[in-house]
Chain A
Amino acid sequence: MMELTDELILGIETSCDETAAAIVKNGTELISNVVSSQIESHKRFGGVVPEIASRHHVEQITIVIEEALRQGNVTFEDLSAIAVTEGPGLVGALLIGVNAAKALALAHSLPLVAVHHIAGHIYANRLEEPMEFPLLALVVSGGHTELIIMEEHGSYEIIGETRDDAAGEAYDKVARTLNLPYPGGPHIDKMAGEGKPTINLPRAWLEADSYDFSFSGLKSSVINTLHNAKQRDEAINPNDLAASFQESVIDVLVEKTSRAAKAYGVKQVVVAGGVAANKGLRERLQEKFEGSGIPLSIPPLWLCTDNAAMIAAAGSVEYQKGKRATMKLNGNPGLDLEAY
């Protein structure tokens, strides 16, 4: 039943290679969620081609939004606001969602709310369970590896971030070295499950008190290991190499997340982003936090990858705070989370 006082937000997300629209009620309840993935179009190029992503977004945008409204049995008159990803992401891709959202806001006299993509990933979790503050979020994806403290809704403090490659990026690069098809992350995860971490690879802990990450050294080490083995005519079990690489990534992610959770005395730890779909990471985090007294939340797989439900959920918080975007809103590929 829809109450008059219910808040209904249409979310729109086009920051990378998914064209997505969704409706969320009162910031917590998923009404509809539509994602049109372009992964098949980009596979043959071994990665996302920005120009091709933008072309797909233009073709899909109205179809996806219509489907979200139809599935939710919602009309423009029912909506409270439109929330759209402002950044970060691919600039040409962001522009499609932003301009479509502005056109809808004008045509139907609806408030417009700009959302930070990472805030969206964190808020995906609110569709599953309430958030408890202070909260620690570990955001891991193809473009991000960050530890974020939230004292309250809509407040973000980055306490650690990657100094070079994002975790997902390292996965993709290692996958390419192993000649795995794009996107490589899930393949490595699967191979790791079948192999044993027998190969010694580095873990970049950085300074003793740092929550920052670094994965480029690890990636180089994997490449060198393969290269040296080839020179010596030794066979390396690719499953073992995948398991060793994955263990090295996960050791650092889990340890730093656990340390930060204790140091900041948080009441909840949220894991978000595409790499949160990684089976190995999920298991190790669950082990680590079991019995720690700090509840751990990992959204289901379909909420970890890019979607617009998370944008609508994060948009609800901004909407309630009275934040509004104007018709001048632009896609911002380098949008800063703390300043936004």
Chain B
Amino acid sequence: MKALAIDTSNLVMGVAVIVDGRIVGELTTNMKKNHSVRLMPAIEELLNEVEVEAKELDRIIVARGPGSYTGVRIGVTIAKTLAWSLKIPITGVSSLEVLARNGKYFDGLVCPLFDARRGQVFTGLYGNVSNHFQLVQEERIILLTDWLTMLREDSKRVLFLGNDLEMHQAIIKEGLGERAVFGQAADHNPRASELASLGQAREGEDPHTFTPSYLRLAEAEAKWLENQKK
């Protein structure tokens, strides 16, 4: 099976190609540059480099969010359009899960985290349960302080991953003390190769009905619903 994996849900842009379970190519940048301008050239370049034609692909795998609304949409739009027009399935994987995989051998809990502004974060909790790395606390958007209060109820060490951690490190240390462990530079970039590995093993979906996972309503929608309640 030949699959293309795409992640533009945050600052990191990742593209990978997996052929019969082997990652044959991967491209990652971690810069404040425009995904809309760069993603298609990156896909074209990587496919060329690994000598796979778009028409040979059997599956498109995409990080479906959460993250930057616009970023997620760029990846998802390209992924679903490729999948639909090539008549192949699309598989979506949580952007947080892709990042969490960087801590899959950590002995404890793994907390991937993206900043969601106004003290909020997109996060969830992963860990090894009966030798299987999996979700242990549902992904959500939550005030970081509330999240830390929840994490205090456990006694395991927690590995924090994500490029937005710098701005939250102090408050996490304050909340969890010695239990908080922080990943190093390379651990903070979600890898398209991990996305590819995860996605190839999962069910394909219909590209037409495939949508991003924003984990949050559009602001106008939330306000409107709020007003309806009054």
When distances are taken between beta carbons in the complex, the residues of chain A under 8 Å from B85 are 62, 76, 103-104, 107-108
**A226 on interface, CB distance cutoff 8 Å:** no
Query: What is the minimal beta-carbon distance from B41 to any residue of chain A, in angstroms?
Result: 5
- Cα distance A106–B55 when bound, in Å? 10
A106-B43, A327-B41 given; A95·B70 CB < 8 A: yes
A62-B81, A103-B85, A107-B55 given; A95·B74 CB < 8 A: yes
**A137 on interface, CB distance cutoff 8 Å:** no
Chain A interface residue bracket vs B: 20 to 34
Cβ B73 vs Cβ A51 within 8 A: no
Interface-side segment among B100-108, B109-117, B118-126, B206-214: B206-214
Cβ A58 vs Cβ B224 within 8 A: no
- Cα distance A108–B81 when bound, in Å? 11
Interface-side segment among B138-146, B152-160, B215-223: B215-223
- Cα distance A102–B77 when bound, in Å? 10
**B137 on interface, CB distance cutoff 8 Å:** no
Residue of B77, B86, B219 near A100 (CB, 8 A) is B77
Residue of A51, A100, A102, A107 near B220 (CB, 8 A) is A51
Cβ B207 vs Cβ A99 within 8 A: no
Query: What is the minimal beta-carbon distance from A133 to any residue of chain B, in angstroms?
Result: 35
**A279 on interface, CB distance cutoff 8 Å:** no
Query: What is the minimal beta-carbon distance from B193 to any residue of chain A, in angstroms?
Result: 21
**A321 on interface, CB distance cutoff 8 Å:** no
> Which residues of chain B from 36 to 81 have any CB-CB distance to chain A below 8 Å in the complex?
36-41, 43-44, 54-55, 69-70, 73-74, 76-78, 80-81
Interface flags, A25-67, vs B, CB<8A=1, else 0: 0000000000000000000110001011011001101110110
Residue of A45, A63, A95, A327 near B77 (CB, 8 A) is A95
When distances are taken between beta carbons in the complex, the residues of chain A under 8 Å from B41 are 326-328
Q: Could you list which residues of chain A lie within 8 angstroms of chain B, going by C-beta atoms? A: 44-45, 49, 51-52, 54-55, 58-59, 61-63, 65-66, 76, 92, 95-96, 98-100, 102-104, 106-108, 326-331
Beyond the given pairs A49-B218, A54-B73, 17 more chain A to chain B contacts, judged by CB atoms under 8 angstroms and listed by A's residue number, are A44-B224, A51-B69, A58-B73, A59-B211, A62-B207, A63-B208, A92-B69, A96-B77, A102-B78, A103-B82, A104-B81, A106-B82, A107-B81, A326-B41, A327-B41, A328-B37, A328-B40
